[in-house]
Amino acid sequence: MPSERVWGVPVATWAYALALVTALPIAGDLLRMPVQVYDALGEILDASRAHGLADTFWAATFNAAYLRPFRIVQITALFDAAHGHYWLAYRGFHAALLLVVVWLFTRALDVRSRADLLPAAFGLTVLTGIHTFRTMIQEAFPINHFLEIAAFVLVAVNLCRARPRLWRDVAALVTFCAAALTLESGLLVWVTVVAAWLAGWRGVSARALVVMTVLVAGYFALRVTVTGMPTLVERGSGYFFERLEPAEILAKFGDNPWPFRIYNVAASALSVPFAEPQGGVFGFTRAISLGDIPAGAAIAIATSLLTTGLIARCAIGTLSRTTADPARPFVLIFGAVLAASAVMSYAYTKDDIMSTAGVCYALAVFASVRWWLTRSGTMRAPARAALVVVLAVAGLGWSVRSVGIHHLARSAAFKTRNDWAYQPSLWKAERRWPDAPSEQRLLHQLRSDALAMPVPNPRFQPTWMNQVWGE
Amino acid sequence: MTRWQRTVVWLPLAGLLAFRLFLLAASLVGRPPFWTPEPLTLSEAAAFRDGGEVARLLATGVDPNATYPVRRGAVRGRIEATPLEAAQAAGRDEIVLLLRDAGAVR
């Protein structure tokens, strides 16, 4: 179907314009943030010691708990390509990756009619407003691999919804391999392709799906035989109203980890559609019990309830029909990715792990808003008016959440710049300061780059910003 | 859905897009709204737990033992203070350490 035109311009172009206006300011924020210290500096130093990408790949394959060689290879490749401009390489890559994700997201919507523009704007707002998106912006290790996984999954969505071609099968398999060897969450590419195939999108053939399934089996075989799985003491995790450190988790669940694992899966599954719990902690529920309701959490939960309600009714409508419905693949993909991401969170709860499910939630919001707008033509006036109110209130709330990403990026930049200020004395006190002069020079350069960046002090921002958007 | 109903739904989303266009325009003219820092003296940076700014100012050669003006509320009851006094008044041990490493003694 050819694209409709608005003021002589195809609506698809308008959709990409909306995407660009959404993504560019956030990419600009990323370019104002220093390279991260925690979970990143060690990786950069390792990259500076690496002897070629192939050696790096094989060394990273044999790890005690994880199979993420492509992750390490990327960090090393960017380090080599930086030629001394490390901030530009890592933050530039982060910003470029964000633009790619928003472009792939918009492409997956396949906006062709004027009526699709409103759902597309809604989807983009939810994409950048959901709490799982903040981890894709605030953190980088020094690459944000969760943003990469979202990109891989969106590549899969785009491949699946197109016409079947052999090159698409090959591209889907390559995408799966790259994603699975970057992070465990890369297996979501397979989940996406299966869900899309079941929903009727056949851009990736059954043959390719079978090959991908064999690769998934091979992946698990590798995990069991070569690397092993994360243990209870891998890292801290939320549990109802508190955050447990590894030693506390071991003391509480060392004999029987299953209640903890079941909690992690359930909490993670709830976190995307309801914005609570976050990081495994029911913070809003605890705040209510203390009589101190944070405005930001209230907005987040209210808007999530509204859009999840829209998705739920759309899902019932579209999945109960025997004929194909354009909303069905989006809803099925979201459900499958949400469930799979929740299962992957069995060892610990972390919003990052659910970030791709957050992206798929935004796809489902797009599809369900379009579904509701299509239905609105046959609704009675009161029902239609109620729908207008729900969409307008949800749109307003999600817009407020989306603006918060700029505030959160700035907060992260302030914290990171401070981390750099204290870094040399901290590492010297911990006897981690490197002996090699080249590594010392590298640390000094990264620190100088970070300190030279103009980052505002949060002291001068209005206090309501932290209340609405958090820190 | 009628035209005005669509407009009502579009309104907040269009407002967000307009805000982002404003952010882009402001960035292009060098005044990004979320990213324009307030100039601080070394003592103010120390009082406002701005370790990054303290380290940057020290690296540019600012004297860590001099007395600098501080804005109202930065250091209780003072209109000027040394960076060390400001950091100690704010209870920021890490900034005290940073200043002492740079030679601050008073």
Spell out which residues of chain B touch residue A21, defining contact as CB-CB under 8 Å: 17, 20-21, 24
Mean pLDDT of A172-177: 98
For the stretch A195-198, contacts whose Cβ atoms lie closer than 8 Å and that sit 24 or more positions apart, written own/partner, are A195/A329, A195/A332, A195/A333, A195/A335, A195/A336, A195/A337, A196/A156, A196/A157, A196/A160, A196/A161, A196/A329, A196/A332, A196/A333, A197/A160, A198/A332
Task: Give every residue of chain B whose pLDDT is below 70, as ranges.
Answer: none
Whether pLDDT at A228 is above 80: no
Please name the residue ranges forming H helices in A321-354: 328-344
* Interface contact B106, partner A, CB < 8 A: no
Q: What pLDDT band is residue A180 in, cutting at 50, 70 and 90?
A: very high
- Give the pLDDT score at A29: 97
Q: What pLDDT band is residue A55 in, cutting at 50, 70 and 90?
A: confident
Please name the residue ranges forming H helices in A275-380: 283-289, 295-320, 328-344, 355-376
- Give the pLDDT score at A58: 85
CA torsion through residues A422, A428, A433, A438, sign:
positive
- Give the pLDDT score at B49: 94
Spell out which residues of chain B touch residue A32, defining contact as CB-CB under 8 Å: 32, 35
- Give the pLDDT score at A216: 97
Whether pLDDT at A416 is above 90: yes
Mean pLDDT of A168-193: 97
Cβ contact A131:A283 at 8 Å = no
User: What would the pLDDT profile of A288-306 be if each residue is shown by its tens digit?
Assistant: 988 888 899 999 999 999 9
- With 0.90 as the threshold, say if the pTM is over it: yes
Mean pLDDT of A330-348: 96
Whether pLDDT at A225 is above 90: no
- Give the pLDDT score at A64: 58
Mean pLDDT of A157-182: 97
Nearest CB partner across the interface for A25, out of B8, B20, B59: B20
Nearest CA in chain B to A461: B34
- Give the pLDDT score at A224: 81
The helix or strand, by DSSP H or E, that contains position A5, with its residue range, turns out to be strand A5-6
Partner-chain contact A392 B9, CB within 8 Å: yes
CA torsion through residues A75, A76, A80, A81, sign:
negative
Whether pLDDT at A234 is above 90: no
User: What would the pLDDT profile of A423-462 be if each residue is shown by its tens digit?
Assistant: 988 898 899 999 999 999 999 999 999 999 999 999 999 9
Nearest CB partner across the interface for A396, out of B6, B12, B98: B12
Of the two residues A471 and A113, the one the predictor is more confident about is: A113
Above pLDDT 70, what percent of chain A? 98
Kindly report the number of other CB atoms within 10 A of residue A99's CB atom.
16
- Give the pLDDT score at A1: 67
| Residue A242 to residue A209: CA distance in whole angstroms | 41
Spell out which residues of chain A touch residue B27, defining contact as CB-CB under 8 Å: 25, 28
| Residue A329 to residue A161: CA distance in whole angstroms | 9
| Residue A350 to residue A136: CA distance in whole angstroms | 12
Task: Give the least confident one: A243-252, A356-365, A385-394.
Answer: A243-252
Nearest CA in chain B to A403: B16
Kindly report the number of other CB atoms within 10 A of residue A383's CB atom.
12
Q: Tell me, what DSSP letter sits at residue A184?
A: G
Whether pLDDT at A359 is above 90: yes
- Give the pLDDT score at B15: 98
Whether pLDDT at A59 is above 90: no
Of the two residues B1 and A15, the one the predictor is more confident about is: A15
Nearest CB partner across the interface for B98, out of A21, A385, A422: A422
Spell out which residues of chain A touch residue B5, defining contact as CB-CB under 8 Å: 384-385, 388
Above pLDDT 90, what percent of chain A? 86
Partner-chain contact B1 A460, CB within 8 Å: no
Q: What pLDDT band is residue A151 in, cutting at 50, 70 and 90?
A: very high
* Interface contact A452, partner B, CB < 8 A: yes
Which amino acid belongs to residue B6? R
Q: Which residues 19-48 on chain B approach chain A with CB closer than 8 angstroms? A: 19-21, 23-24, 27, 32, 34-38, 40, 45, 48
